[in-house]
Amino acid sequence: MSTINDIGIPGVGSGILHPKHKNRWRVTFANMGGGADSQPVSMQAIKVNRPHLKFEKVNLHRYNSVAYIAAKHSWDPMALTVQDDVTGTASQVIQAQLQKQQWLIGAEGQWLAAAGEGSLYKFVTYLDMLDGNDQVIEKWTVEGCWIEDNDWGELAYETGDPVEIQLSISYDHARQTLGGYQQGKGIATGGAGRVG
């Protein structure tokens, strides 16, 4: 008779490694909105994408064959969904960031002045995956961030759903740090009883 201890892949290993959970994360920001308190955006965040790295592919043609090598890398924008709160605190932080990128409200003079350089408006995003408590098991440090696309969301009389703000965040670079899980061996299966 098979037991829980028999779960696994023959020739590879026994047991099942416990997966990371999609709902165990937090996102925080440094210098978003020029140093405004960005905690409301962190508190209202309900969905975020982890960074997506891709490489350009270069074809090396030779006679009747083709080989491939990697060229420059680039990062796709991160999608962040935030629920709009009734006090507007998350919206105020987002608005402050957009104002740092380009004066859109109350610009002095007749021009909507853009920031003179990226360092004046770019911010850092920290995306932490957690173990179910406060232990970070994966950390992304996303640098050179700015809001590429901002959608304040739609309104509709037929639903009472929360209003959502969609952000597309472009960035220059991301670093991933793995490790930090310290509660056990990371095995999903367990609690086996005696046979017989």
CATH 2.30.110 fits 19-178, yes or no: yes
**DSSP conformational letter for 111:** S
Closest CA to 191 of 13, 4, 8, 2: 4
| Beta pairing, strands 78-83 & 123-130 | unpaired
- Looking at residue 6, its pLDDT comes to 72
d(CA 180, CA 133): 12
Q: Are 97 and 40 in contact (CB under 8 A)?
A: no
What amino acid occupies position 26?
R
Q: What is the DSSP letter of 6?
A: G
Tens digits of pLDDT across the chain (196 residues): 566 667 888 888 888 888 999 999 999 999 999 887 999 999 999 999 999 999 999 999 999 999 999 999 999 999 999 999 999 999 999 999 999 898 766 655 566 677 778 888 999 999 999 998 889 999 999 999 999 999 999 999 999 999 999 999 999 999 999 988 888 778 777 766 555 5
DSSP 114: B
pTM of the prediction? 0.88
